[in-house]
């Protein structure tokens, strides 16, 4: 089972290109200034719980040829790493070309050996730090967060390969 709060069909702020975005429920961090504080609680009163295979069906119905990929945000998707892994494994079997971005408060170094990582193309890592908030950064909220090319970083066996993207327009 996976607990999610919602799905947005068309986003251009949650990764490169037009993206389908799903917001998973639950985050242990409670970062001051959190962008989605309603997604922090992980209890039966918040979000919707669904079988992983049903969630995959729901997502596949919403992904179109215009989408560059899918983004998992939250909350913190890696709080449900095993369920997310099951979802991504099924998604990649159906659409192997699917580009997957995941936002997490964990640092890459903490999660690089987790099974779910082999299904992720880009990881935006690190907790949101209000004192490092920068609205000019592309696809992240604070300057401590990194945009990581996961396949290249995993191949480097310890060296993080960051993706350098330009400044977002205001």
Domain boundaries, the chain: 2-155
List CB contacts of 61: < 8 A, sequence separation 6 or more: none
- pLDDT value for 154: 92
Q: Give dist(CA 104, CA 38) in Å, integer.
A: 16
- pLDDT value for 123: 95
Q: Which CATH number fits domain 2-155: 3.10.105.10, 3.30.1330.100, 3.40.640.10, 3.20.20.70?
A: 3.20.20.70
The Cβ of residue 159 has, within 10 Å, a number of other Cβ atoms equal to 8
Q: Give dist(CA 139, CA 147) in Å, integer.
A: 8
Tell me the pTM: 0.90
Which residues in the chain land under pLDDT 50?
169-170
- pLDDT value for 170: 43
Q: How many CA atoms lie within 13 A of 111 on its CB side?
A: 27
- pLDDT value for 169: 45
* Angle (deg, nearest 10), helices 52-62 and 81-94: 50
pLDDT digits (tens, 9 = 90+) for 7-44: 989 988 888 889 999 989 877 877 676 777 666 657 76
- pLDDT value for 119: 97
DSSP per-residue codes, the chain:
-EEEEEEEEEESSSSSSSEEEEEE---S---TT-S-GGG---STTSSEEE-HHHHHHHHHHH--TT--EEEEEES-GGGGHHHHHHHHHHHHHH-TT-EEEEE-SS-HHHHTTSGGGGG-SEEEES---GGGB-TTSTT-SBTT-EEEEHHHHHHTTS---BPP--PPP-
């Amino acid at each position: 089972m996976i607990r999610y709060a919602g799905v947005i069909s068309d986003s251009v702020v949650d990764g490169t290109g037009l993206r389908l975005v799903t917001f998973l429920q639950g985050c242990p961090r409670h970062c001051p200034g959190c962008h989605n504080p309603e997604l922090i609680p992980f209890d039966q009163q918040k979000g919707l719980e669904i079988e992983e295979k049903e969630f995959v069906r729901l997502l596949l119905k919403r992904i179109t040829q215009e989408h560059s990929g899918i983004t998992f945000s939250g909350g913190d998707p890696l709080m449900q790493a095993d369920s997310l892994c099951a979802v991504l494994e099924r998604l990649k079997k159906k659409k192997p070309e699917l580009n997957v971005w995941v936002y997490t408060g964990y640092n890459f170094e903490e999660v690089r050996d987790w099974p779910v990582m082999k299904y992720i193309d880009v990881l935006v890592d690190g907790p949101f730090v209000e004192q490092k908030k920068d609205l000019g950064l592309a696809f992240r909220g604070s300057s401590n967060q990194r945009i990581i090319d996961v396949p290249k970083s995993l191949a480097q066996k310890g060296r993080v390969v960051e993706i350098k993207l330009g400044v977002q327009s205001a």
